[in-house]
Each structure stands twice: as structure tokens, then as C-alpha cells.
Amino acid sequence: MRDKTLFRIMQDRLFKSVVMSLAFLSTLPLLFILFYIFKNGISVINWKFLVNLPKPVGEISGGISNAIVGTSILVLISCIVSVPLGIASGIYLSEYRKSRLSYFVRLSVEVLQGVPSIVIGIIAYLWIVKPVGSFSALAGGIALGIMMLPVIVRSTEETLKLIPYYLKEASLALGVPYYRTILKVILPTGLSGIMTGILLGIARIAGETAPLLFTAFGNPFMNVNILKPVNSLPLLIFNYAMSPYADWQKIAWGASVVLVTMVLFLNLIAKMVAKKWKIVS
């Protein structure tokens, strides 16, 4: 009898240590990745790296300014495309929770979230690049916008669902029309949650490469015309990483540091926004 108890205790301890060690092991890749990226990339980064254009192989002090500008343009376009539509649909889903149409809309948001990024790239190619006849920042931005849309819809919906119903009732009881209640009472209350969603969405698309391969395409020069191809940080990393030149690979490491820092920083801000203006219900 005592042996059995001892056995059970040992079994429990053993299991716990296995779970613990496996869980901690799974964070090791993160440390490895961050370590190697910063080790290889940090030495490349200086002011010139951020403001210079890429140089041909063999010339030193090439930079990534065009990719930084390109990524900003792409993110801006995708926000213009997806933020208004996403928030409006989020309001729709939270206001009409039980209608048949909203069931299908919610389902399509979920499906859209799971569509592989490369397929979104094909779609943007077929919808925009092919009719217009050239790769463009516009096509890339729209592709990224489609990817960002489900994130914004869901965060808006989830946030608005959390807002206490008596806020809405109080506003309606004062005779405020329904649409003004939503726009002036409910939305401002949920602003932090929606902002978090937008920031997380940006963090997600800023690192996306696959939808840009045949939409934004990449460009070794500076470009701000949205109907022409632009470069972006992930595209630059991909192209330079796959190149056989050590100089370019070095630039890719540097660009990785910039991209990772940017994305992790966005995630951090999103978390802080969510924490600071949490809805108290």
C-alpha cells in the first residue's frame, strides 16, 4: 500500500518535470533566433544603413531606406482599405448577433483568417496586377489589407461585446438616436480594444512576404508612386537571403533586426494599449 502511494507520487513528479522541461524547451528556438539575428545583424546597423539606398554587389554602405519607405506605404494602404470596413463589420456582428446573415458573415471572417497568405497574393494579382498591367504598391497594400481585415473585425466585435449594456441603454433612454449612441458612446468606450486590434493587425502584415511576391514585387530603387512596384522589408530580406553574395546576406541580417524590432515593438505597444485602457465592466 505504501509502495503504491510512493509510486503515484513519483509518477506525478516525473510527469510534472517532463511537462515543465518540454514547455521551457519550446521557448529555446525563440532565444536562438533572436540571438543569431542580433549577433549577425547589429553590426551592420548604423544611420547610413537606415537612410541609404541598396547598392550593387561589391559597393559597401548600401542601405534599406527604400524598403522602410515601401513597408510604410504598404501598411498605410492596407489600413485605408481594411480599418473602416473592418470596424463597420465588427459593429454589424456585435449588433446583430443572431441574424442568419451575421452567422454567414462571421463564418466568412473565420474562413478569411485561415486563407493562406500566398492565395491572397494570387487574388491580388488577378484582381489588380493583371487588369492594371503592372506590379504595384496598390496591389500589395490591398493584399495585406485583406489579410488584416479579419483581425480588425474580430477585435472590434469582441471589444464591443464586452461593453456593458447599461451604457447603451442609458444613452438610448436620454433620447439619443441609435446610430449616435453607437458612434459617440459605444465606439469611444471600445476604442482601446479596437486600437489593439489594428496594431496587432499591422504587426501581422508588416512581416508578411508571400502576398507581396507577385503584387508589390520589390524594387531596388526608392519609389513612392503607388502604381509602381515598391520594396518592403520582408521582401528585401527574402531576396537578399536567397542571393549568393555575402554582402547582401549581411544586409538581410541587418534588415531582419530592423523588422523584428519593429514587429515586437508593435506587439508591445498593442499590449500596453490593451492594458492601460481596459474596459471595466
Decide: 206 and 75 in contact? Cβ < 8 Å: yes
Please give the grid coordinates belonging to residue 265. Answer: 515593438
Tell me the closest approach of the beta carbon of residue 89 to another protein, in angstroms: 5
Q: How many CA atoms lie within 13 A of 188 on its CB side?
A: 7
93 near another protein, rule: CB under 8 A: yes
Please give the grid coordinates belonging to residue 226. Answer: 503607388
Of the residues 213, 216, 230, 274, which one makes contact with another protein according to CB under 8 A: 213
Of the residues 69, 167, 191, 260, which one makes contact with another protein according to CB under 8 A: 260
Q: Which stretch binds another protein (CB under 8 A): 50-58, 61-69, 166-174, 203-211?
A: 203-211
Decide: 259 and 237 in contact? Cβ < 8 Å: yes
Nearest residue (CB) to another protein, 178 versus 245:
178
Structure letter (DSSP) for residue 243: S
33 near another protein, rule: CB under 8 A: yes
89 near another protein, rule: CB under 8 A: yes
Q: Which of residues 41-80 bind another protein (CB under 8 A)?
A: none
243 near another protein, rule: CB under 8 A: no
Q: Which stretch binds another protein (CB under 8 A): 42-50, 53-61, 220-228, 264-272?
A: 264-272
Nearest residue (CB) to another protein, 78 versus 117:
117
Of the residues 51, 57, 80, 118, which one makes contact with another protein according to CB under 8 A: 118
Show the DSSP H helices in the chain as ranges.
2-25, 28-41, 47-51, 65-95, 100-114, 117-124, 130-132, 137-162, 165-173, 178-180, 187-189, 191-206, 233-241, 246-276
11 near another protein, rule: CB under 8 A: yes
Host H or E run for residue 84: helix 65-95
The size of the interface with another protein (CB under 8 A), counted in residues, is 87
Cβ contacts of 205 within 8 Å, gap of 6 or more: 74, 75, 78, 144, 147, 148
Tell me the closest approach of the beta carbon of residue 266 to another protein, in angstroms: 8
With cell 522589408, the residue in question is 233
Q: What are the strands, taking DSSP E only, across 13-114?
A: none
Q: Which stretch binds another protein (CB under 8 A): 48-56, 103-111, 184-192, 219-227?
A: 103-111
With cell 537578399, the residue in question is 240
Q: Which of residues 122-181 bind another protein (CB under 8 A)?
A: 122-123, 125-127, 146, 149, 153, 177-180
237 near another protein, rule: CB under 8 A: yes
